[in-house]
Amino acid sequence: MKQETCVLGAGRMSSSVVRSFLSNAYATSVWNRTHEKCAPVIAAGATSSNDLEDAVRQADVIVVNVLDFSTSDALFRRSSVVSRLPGKIVVQRNIKEHTNV
């Protein structure tokens, strides 16, 4: 049985990750602070949640691909999110901290 996945973020890299999960038959949802940015991957077959807590609750694997660590820290410091994390696999990549030298 494949795990439910959720990608937090809807930029180019996040969209690519979502499409990869979908092409490998993973049930995949996406969440972004700006819900409209999720439209292309929803059209490709992903589901979406308007609520971060709900997105985290439903997923077994959460891929965090937001702008920077400050953003992800702000998202995951909410007690309503923290309480839903036990037993989840969280993979995090932050864009700003990774630059080409």
Which pair of tokens denotes residue 58? 């439903």
Q: How high is the pLDDT of residue 100?
A: 54
Q: Going from the N-terminus, what domains does the chain have, and what CATH number goes with each?
A: 5-92 (3.40.50.720)
Q: pLDDT tens, position by position, for the chain (101 residues)?
A: 688 999 999 999 999 999 999 999 999 999 999 999 999 999 999 999 889 999 999 999 999 999 888 888 999 999 999 999 999 999 987 666 555 54
Q: How high is the pLDDT of residue 101?
A: 46
pTM of the model: 0.87
Query: How far is residue 63's CA from residue 4's CA, in Å, rounded to a whole number?
Result: 11
